[in-house]
Structure 1
Amino acid sequence: MTRCIRHAAAFCALLLLALLVNATRVQVVQSDSLDHNPANRRQAIVRFGQPRGDIVVDGRAVTGSKDTGEQLRYERTYKNGPLYAPVTGFASQVYGTSFLEEAEDDILSGTDPMLAPLPLWNDVTRAQNPGGKVVTTIRAPVQQAAYAGLGGKRGAVVAVEPATGKILALVSAPSYDPERLSGTSRPVADAWTELNGRPSRPMLNRAIRQTYPPGSTFKVVTAAAALDAGVVTDPDEPTKSPSPYTLPGTSTQLTNEVDGCTNASLRTAFVWSCNTVFAKLGVDTGLSAMVDTARNFGFNDRGLRIPSPVAASTFDTSLDKAQLALSSIGQYDTRATPLQMAMVSAAVANGGSVKSPHLVERTTTADGDVVDTTGTRTLRQAMNPGTAVRLREMMTEVVEKGTGANAAIPGATVGGKTGTAQHGVDNAGTPYAWFVSWAQGADDPEPSVAVAVVVEDASADRGDISGGGSAAPIAKAVMEAALSGGGPR
C-alpha cells in the first residue's frame, strides 16, 4: 500500500512539474508570439484602453482621444485634420497607422520602454505607460500659408530651415480628415473605400511619397555640377550652345521658350531658363559628374526617413548622351519629391551643405520629460561653398529680373528657380508647375527658409502654365509667413 502511495505521489509530482513547465513555456517562451497573434484581441483592447499621446505643433496638440465606452475604448481625434494630415497621418482601430502616427507609434501608444520609470519596469510588471508626446518642427503659420496657397489644387509644398533641416511646413493637396478613419463603425469602412476610390488620391502624401519630373528646377543641380567640374569657370562667359540644340546621336532638336539663348552665358541661361544651354551643359559635364552631384544633393537615396520613409528621388545612372541631355533639364527619367527639391534649394542657401530633413524636434513622456531629441545632422556636401555663392547670386537674379518675379518679397532677399515639367504620352499631360526658393530677412545673417512648390493642375491654359505664374506666388506666401515669425525659433 505504501509503495502505491509513493508511486501516486511521484506521478502527481511529475504532473505538477509538467504543468509548471508548460506554464513557463506559455508565459515566457511563447508570450511574445501569443501577444502578437492576430486572434488575440487583448493587445488591441489594451492598446485602445487608454488615450493616445498627442502630436504637437507650435506648443498645441493637433490630436486628441475620445472615450467611446466601447471595447476598443479610445478613438483618435484630430484638430484641423486636413491641414495636418500629411504630418500626422491616421491612427485607426481597423486600418492601422500612417506617417507620424506610425513612425512614432511606440511613443504615442505608451509601449516605448523609454517611457517607463525604471529600466525593464514594464517587462516585469506588464504595465503600460501613458502615451508620450511627439513635438514636431512644423510652424503653424507656415503650414497654414502653404495649405491656403494650394487652395485644394493637386500638389504639395515643403518648407525647411536650411541650417538645421527642420521641416517648417509639409502640405499635400487635396487632403482628407483622418478622424473619419477612427473607430470600428460602418461609416469608417465607407470612408476608407471612398477616400481610396477618389481619382484625386487625397490620402497620397505628395510631399514625400510622390515623385515628379522636376523640370527646370533641376537646372540648379546641373549648374552646380558644371561649376564644380570646371566645365564653366565664369558664369558670365558665353557658352558654345546652339539654339535649337540637336540631341547627340539623334535628329531631335531641343528648343527654348524664350529668345536669346544662343551661346548664352550660364547666368543668362539660368535666369531665363534656356533648355538648350543646360542640356548641352549636362552632356559636357558628363554622366559621372552629373550622377555624383545629384547623389550629393540626395537623389538615389532609398533610405531617407523624416522619420516616415520618403520615396527615393532618382537620377538615372546609365544614360546615353541624348538621355543625359534631357535628364539635365529635369526631364526623361529624372524624378524628385517636393521634399528633395526643397533640400536642393536649402543646400544652395546653406553654403552647399545638405542637412538631414526631420519632422520631429523631440519626444517626451506624458508629463513633458524629454525622451529623445533630433539634432542637426549633415547628410552630404552637395557642392563647393564657392559654387553655392554663385548659385545664390543667380537664383536672386531669377526673382529680381527673371522668371521668378512673382516670388519677390519687399525688404527680403529671395532666390528662386522656376520649372515647368512636361509629362504624359508625347508630353500631352497638363505640365507640372514648379518653384524652388529660399528667403533671407533684412535682419537675418543667412537665409532662414527654403521652399519647394509643385502644382499638378494649375488653373491656367496649357500655354500659360509656368512655375513663375502658378507656383511662385504660393512660395512667396510661405516664405513671408516664415520671415514674419512663423519660421524657426
Structure 2
Amino acid sequence: MTKYIRRAAALCALLLLALLVNATRVQVVDSKAYDSNPANRRKDIARYDQARGDILVGGRAVTGSRDTGEQLRHERTYTNGPLYAPVTGFASQVYGTTFLEHAEDALLAGTDPMLAPLPLWNDLARTRSPGGKVVTTVEPAAQRAAFAGLGGRKGAVAALDPATGKVLALVSSPSYDPERLAGTGSAVTGAWAALNADPDKPMLNRALSRTYPPGSTFKVVTAAAALDAGRVTDLDAPTRSPDPYTLPGTSTSLANEVDGCSDASLRHAFQWSCNTVFAKLGVDTGQDALADTAKRFGFDGPGPKVPSPTARSTFDTATDDAQLALSAIGQYDTRATPLQMAMVAAAVAGGGSVKAPHLVDRTTSADDDIVATTHTRTLQQAMNPRTAAQLRELMTDVVEKGTGTNAAIDGVTVGGKTGTAQHGVGNAGTPYAWFIAWARKPADPEPSVAVAVVVEDAAADRSDISGGGTAAPIAKAVMEAVLGA
C-alpha cells in the first residue's frame, strides 16, 4: 500500500509541477503574445474601467469622463471641443489617442509609475492609480481670440511667451469636436469616416503638423543672417539692389509689389517688404551663412516636441544662386510650420535666444501633488543680441509705418512682419497670408508675447489676400488678449 501511495504522491507532484510550468509559460514566456492578441479585451476593459484624468486650461478642465455602464465604461467628454482640439487631440476607444491625449496618455490613464505611492506598488497590488492631471500653458482668452479671428477659415495661429517658450495659444481651423470620436458604435465610425473624407481636413493640426512657404516673414531670418555676417552694417545705407532683379544665371526678373525698392536701405526694404533687396541680399550673404542662421532658428532639424511631435521646417541647402534668391524671400523649397515662425518672432523678441516651446506647464496626481514640472530650456542662440535689437527696431517700423499697421495696439510696442506666400503650379494658387509679431507693454522690460498667423483662405479673391490685411488683425487680437490691452 505504501508503494502505491508514494506513486500517487509522485504523480500528483508531477502534475503540480506541470501546472506550474504551464502557468509560467502563459504568464511570463507567452504573456506578450496574449496581451497583443486582438481577441484579448481584458486590457481595454481595464483601461476604460476608471475615469481618465483631465487636461486643464486656465485652471479649468476642458476634458471629462462619462460612465456609460457598458463594457468599455468611461467615454471621454470635451468642453469647447473644437476650440481646444489642436491642444487636447482626442481619446477614442476605437481610434486611439492624439496630441496631449497621446503624449500624456500614461498619466491620464493612471498607469504612470510616478502616480503610485511606492515604486512598483501598482504591479504588486494589481491596482491602478486614479488618472493624473495635465496643466497646460494655454491662455484661454488668447485661444478664443485666435479661434474667433480665423472664423472657420483654413489657417492656424501659434502664440508663445518669448522668455519661457510657453505656448499661449494653439489654434487650427477648421476644427472638429473630438467628443464625436469617444465611445463605440456606428456613430463613432460614421464620424471618423466623415472627418477623414472632409476636404477641409478638420483633424489636421495646421499649427503643428503642416508646413507652408513662409513668404516674406522669412525675411526676418535673411536679415538676421546678413547682419550677423556683416553684410549689412548700417540699416539706413542704400543697398546695391536693382529693381527689377534678374535671378542669377537666368533671364527671369523678380519685381516688387511697391515702388521705391531700387537700391533701398535695409530699413525701407524691410518696412515695405522689397523682394528684390532681400533676394539679392540672400545671394550676397551666401548659402552657408543663410542655412546656418536658419538652422539656429530651428529649420532643418527635427520639429520640437511640445510634447506632441511637430513637422520639420526646412530650408534647402543644395540650391543654385537663383534658387537661393527665392529661398531668401521664403519661396522655392523653404517651408515652415506656424509654430516655427512663432519661434522666429520669439527669438527676435527674446534677444536672439530660441526657447523650447512647450504646452504642458506641469502634471499632477488626482490630488494635485506635483508629478513633473516643465522648466524653461534654451535650444540655441539664433543670432547676436545686437542683431536681435536691430530686428526689433525694423519690425517696429513695419507696424508703425509700414505694411503691418493693422497690428498696432494703442500704448503697446508692437513689432511685426507681413508675408504673402505664393504657391501652386506657376504660383496660380491663392496666396497664403502670413503675419508674425511680438508685443511689449511700456512697463514691461521685454516683450511678453510672440505670435504667428497663417490664413489659407482658398475661397478668397487673390487681390484681397495680404499678410497685413488678413493675418495682422488676428495677431493683434491675440496679443491684446495676452496683454489684457
Could you say which TM-score interval applies, normalised by the shorter chain? Answer: over 0.9
Matched, 1:356 2:356: yes
Partner of 2:446, secondary structure, is coil
Matched, 1:127 2:127: yes
Give me the whole-angstrom Cα distance separating, in 1, the residues matched to 2:75 and 2:246.
61
The answer to whether the 8 A contact 1:413-1:440 is kept is: yes
Q: Could you list the per-position Cα deviations for residues 169-197 of structure 1 after superposition, in whole angstroms to 9, with x for gaps in the alignment?
A: 00000000000001102111111011110
Q: How does 1:17-96 map to 2 (within 5 A)?
A: 17-96=17-96
- Between the aligned residues of both structures, percent identity stands at 75
Structure 2 equivalent of residue 222 of structure 1 = 222
Give me the whole-angstrom Cα distance separating, in 1, the residues matched to 2:280 and 2:442.
38
Give me the whole-angstrom Cα distance separating, in 1, the residues matched to 2:32 and 2:358.
32
Give me the whole-angstrom Cα distance separating, in 2, the residues matched to 1:329 and 1:11.
84
The amino acid of 1:341's aligned partner reads M
How far is 1:38 from its partner?
Answer: 2.5
The answer to whether the 8 A contact 1:458-1:470 is kept is: no
Q: Could you list the per-position Cα deviations for residues 4-58 of structure 1 after superposition, in whole angstroms to 9, with x for gaps in the alignment?
A: 5434432332221121122123223443443343221011101111111000000
Q: Cα RMSD between the aligned structures? A: 1.2
The amino acid of 2:66's aligned partner reads K
Partner of 1:372, secondary structure, is strand
The answer to whether the 8 A contact 1:415-1:438 is kept is: yes
Give me the whole-angstrom Cα distance separating, in 1, the residues matched to 2:287 and 2:98.
38
How far is 1:220 from its partner?
Answer: 0.2
Structure 1 equivalent of residue 196 of structure 2 = 196
Partner of 2:65, secondary structure, is strand
Give me the whole-angstrom Cα distance separating, in 2, the residues matched to 1:220 and 1:345.
8
Moved more, 207-216 or 316-325: 316-325
Unpaired runs of 5+ in structure 2? none
The amino acid of 2:99's aligned partner reads F
Structure 2 equivalent of residue 231 of structure 1 = 231
Partner of 1:362, secondary structure, is strand
Structure 1 equivalent of residue 102 of structure 2 = 102
Give me the whole-angstrom Cα distance separating, in 2, the residues matched to 1:40 and 1:109.
19
Q: How does 1:89-488 map to 2 (within 5 A)?
A: 89-457=89-457, 460-484=460-484
Partner of 1:171, secondary structure, is strand
The answer to whether the 8 A contact 1:306-1:357 is kept is: yes
How far is 1:133 from its partner?
Answer: 0.3
Q: Could you list the per-position Cα deviations for residues 53-84 of structure 1 after superposition, in whole angstroms to 9, with x for gaps in the alignment?
A: 00000000000000111100010000000000
Give me the whole-angstrom Cα distance separating, in 1, the residues matched to 2:265 and 2:231.
12
Give me the whole-angstrom Cα distance separating, in 2, the residues matched to 1:59 and 1:9.
66
How far is 1:459 from its partner?
Answer: 6.3
The amino acid of 2:483's aligned partner reads L
Partner of 2:124, secondary structure, is helix
How far is 1:308 from its partner?
Answer: 0.3
The amino acid of 2:127's aligned partner reads A
How far is 1:2 from its partner?
Answer: 4.4
Give me the whole-angstrom Cα distance separating, in 2, the residues matched to 1:460 and 1:476.
21
How far is 1:290 from its partner?
Answer: 0.9
The amino acid of 1:145's aligned partner reads A
The answer to whether the 8 A contact 2:158-2:170 is kept is: yes
Moved more, 171-180 or 232-241: 232-241
Give me the whole-angstrom Cα distance separating, in 1, the residues matched to 2:247 and 2:326.
8
Give me the whole-angstrom Cα distance separating, in 2, the residues matched to 1:279 and 1:87.
37
The answer to whether the 8 A contact 2:430-2:461 is kept is: no
Partner of 1:290, secondary structure, is helix
Partner of 1:199, secondary structure, is coil
The answer to whether the 8 A contact 2:430-2:460 is kept is: no
Q: Could you list the per-position Cα deviations for residues 417-461 of structure 1 after superposition, in whole angstroms to 9, with x for gaps in the alignment?
A: 000000001000000000000000122111000000000017653
Give me the whole-angstrom Cα distance separating, in 1, the residues matched to 2:16 and 2:45.
33
The answer to whether the 8 A contact 2:438-2:451 is kept is: yes
Moved more, 24-33 or 246-255: 24-33
TM-score, structure 1 length as denominator?
Answer: 0.97
Moved more, 3-12 or 182-191: 3-12
Give me the whole-angstrom Cα distance separating, in 1, the residues matched to 2:290 and 2:40.
53
Partner of 2:226, secondary structure, is helix
The answer to whether the 8 A contact 1:207-1:339 is kept is: yes
Give me the whole-angstrom Cα distance separating, in 2, the residues matched to 1:51 and 1:144.
28
Please list every run of at least 4 consecutive aligned residues from structure 1 whose deviation after the TM superposition is greater than 4 angstroms.
1-5
CA 1:303/1:269 → structure 2, altered by over 3 Å: closer, same or farther?
closer
The amino acid of 1:447's aligned partner reads P
Unpaired runs of 5+ in structure 1? none
TM-score, structure 2 length as denominator?
Answer: 0.98
